[in-house]
Chain A
Amino acid sequence: MEALNLVQVLDLKKWFPVQKGFIERLVTRERQFVHAVDGISFEIKRGEVFGLAGESGSGKTTTGRLILRLVEPTQGSILFDQVDLARLSGEEMRRMRRRMQIIFQDPFASLNPRMKIGEAIGHSLEIFGMAHGEEKRGRVVEMMERVGLEPAALLYDAYSHQLSGGQRQRAVIARALMLNPDLVVADEPIAMADVSVRALLLDLMNELKRALDLTYLFITHDLATAKYICDRIGIMYLGKLAEVGELQKVYGHPFHPYTQALLAAVPVPDPRQRRTQPMPPGEIPSPINPPSGCRFHPRCPIAGPICSQEEPALRELRQGHTVACHYADRFVA
């Protein structure tokens, strides 16, 4: 039987040691850590688009990389299709990775400039010994057509600098799909594209997901874009999940004061709807010494005494909608 959850993340942590200078190391004994991801749990259901949203430094990208085991977790576990990834050997992990692929933000940096586009897209087929020569070419051309990289036969031999930004991102998408993965981690896949191209790429990703039975982890800082693709969303703040739920619920009725601020801050393309809500003061603090208790408390408009002392756990306030806030009950309608 197929599990409902394709990915299950349990109490995942990643602390990066802070590099210090030689003298500093001699003087201070204490080691410092960047608490990039600091104890998060969530699941990604098979066939859904799960969004991870938050500002820079919230830990969303690290989370994506942890799931692919591109960085090793400090603590916690990741179950992929019920298999604990931490227990896999290097070779087993390599085979598992065929089922999980990543799309990076910058298609300039993630395509080898000295490789033909078609070769770059089909490279993974060769690495895994799945297809060579003419067969590989045929499968790559088919995938290129599928993602709208046309005329495929011609573009196969082009180099990445000859492609437009939108075409390059299509190539990166095609490459991720070549091995027929179950999960695609898309890390800000359209952040670099122009508005008109963004709509096109979103549409393509939605269509591919339906056609190929994909599951996406969609990492983004752009909440407006997330709306057009995500089924569920997790809002991250300073290495923690502040709120998780079905997108309609989280956007329609956010419980966490941070989510509320984040949603209100998104500029609306309608001058009749100019924002009037005040913004929380300051910026996201350093993840080296995060605030005690609830990490948002120094900026929170409704913080009480308990917030600086006790860390709120994620709890389900409505079906399919969980929040980590001591005072969120007041927002339940």
Chain B
Amino acid sequence: MSEPLLQIRDLSVEYPTRGGLLRAVDGVSLTAFKGEVLGLVGESACGKSTLGMAVLRLLRPPGKIVSGEIEFRGQQLLELKAEAMRLVRGAHLSMVFQDPMTCLNPLQRISDHMVETIRTHRPSMKVKAARQHAGALLDRLGIATERLNDYPHQLSGGMRQRVMIGLALALDVDLIVADEPTTSLDVIVEAQFLDQLRELKDQFGLTIILITHNIGIVAELADRVAVMYAAKIVELADVSALFGKPLHPYSQGLLKSVPNIRLSDDCLEIMSGAPPDLINPPQGCRFHPRCPRVMDRCRSEVPPFDEVQPGRWTACWLYE
């Protein structure tokens, strides 16, 4: 495997709420290797988006990182001053959000967005040169250069999302955190977008952390997958290993509840219960109240996140 680009160690994020402290990310360790697509899947409120935002240090207050470290290109991100972090963001590390309409300023032309991004990091570059660079990028993304003069509302949903990618690529970023990048897109446009992402990844040697609830697009694009449940990562494996034989009972249940259009006579399995309240999570393994294979130990002791087979990690007492 190639060298690690991003290493998250024992990271925890908390939000103070009226009901008490909510730990949205709880002791997560995860490594993204150069050139890979690392899928991060889980259901609503499992902490996957918070984890993505934490990596960029873009958490909205009062949310805050309470422990752990994030090492990116050999640099400790949590030790950087705000200004230094801002320069890493955009230049080396970038984010693509779910809804491009709310991320683009409706009063700014596409060119303004792109030129501003480029010149913030390369102040010596002239506006004209930045515009040219932006035009070339759009062209590469399959959008006519003239569209630089358009406002966001003049573009279609798919184009807007490609502009977001263009913004992320405007500088030579190494890592893109894409949070539900295709959720607002229709299925054919989603497929076009995934094709493009795959191409760009190869061309630019990008590393992508793909955060999504859509198990299908993870299967389509990811090299490795981390499954998150109730603020913790419960399983990490190569995509083929995970889909071939998921180890953690939550991963098993999750994969069986996903509709598969190619199978003609399958039934969806139903997981009982609902994810826990993160202010008062269950003792022991957080999945134990819903787990079909629960043992006594699971109710009291937290299972460690261990490598149970080469390259396969899971937090479950079944594999001790």
Whether B268 pairs with A199 at a CB distance below 8 angstroms is yes
- Least Cβ distance of A189 to chain B in Å? 14
- Least Cβ distance of B260 to chain A in Å? 6
- A-side interface size class: 35 or more
Instruction: Name the interface residues of B214-258: CB closer than 8 Å to any CB of A.
Output: 214-217, 219-220, 222, 239-240, 243, 253-255, 257-258
- B-side interface size class: 35 or more
User: If the complex has contacts A55-B188, A273-B262, A279-B188, are A268 and B216 also in contact, measured as CB distance less than 8 A?
Assistant: yes
Q: A264 to B269: give the CA distance in the assembly, Å.
A: 24
The residue on B at minimum CB distance from A280 is B188
Instruction: Name the interface residues of A253-285: CB closer than 8 Å to any CB of B.
Output: 261-275, 279-281, 283-284
Which A residues lie within 8 Å of B190 (CB)?
265, 267
The residue on A at minimum CB distance from B215 is A269
Whether B270 pairs with A203 at a CB distance below 8 angstroms is yes
User: If the complex has contacts A195-B213, A200-B270, A203-B270, are A270 and B261 also in contact, measured as CB distance less than 8 A?
Assistant: no
Instruction: Name the interface residues of A269-317: CB closer than 8 Å to any CB of B.
Output: 269-275, 279-281, 283-284
User: If the complex has contacts A194-B44, A227-B259, A228-B268, are A267 and B217 also in contact, measured as CB distance less than 8 A?
Assistant: yes
Whether B261 pairs with A268 at a CB distance below 8 angstroms is yes
Assess whether B43 is interfacial by the CB under 8 Å rule.
Answer: yes
Contact partner of A271 (CB less than 8 A), chosen from B214, B240, B253, B260, is B240
Instruction: Name the interface residues of A146-197: CB closer than 8 Å to any CB of B.
Output: 164-166, 194-197
Assess whether A56 is interfacial by the CB under 8 Å rule.
Answer: yes
- In the complex, number of A-B residue pairs with CB atoms less than 8 Å apart: 119
Which A residues lie within 8 Å of B271 (CB)?
196, 199
Which B residues lie within 8 Å of A275 (CB)?
191, 220
- Least Cβ distance of B264 to chain A in Å? 7
Task: Identify 15 residue pairs between A and B in the complex whose beta-carbon atoms are under 8 Å apart, listed by A's number.
Answer: A164-B274, A195-B254, A195-B258, A199-B269, A199-B271, A203-B268, A203-B270, A266-B216, A267-B190, A267-B191, A269-B216, A269-B243, A269-B260, A273-B262, A279-B188
Interface residues of chain B, those whose CB is within 8 Å of chain A, are 43-44, 156-159, 186-192, 194-195, 213-217, 219-220, 222, 239-240, 243, 253-255, 257-262, 264, 268-271, 274
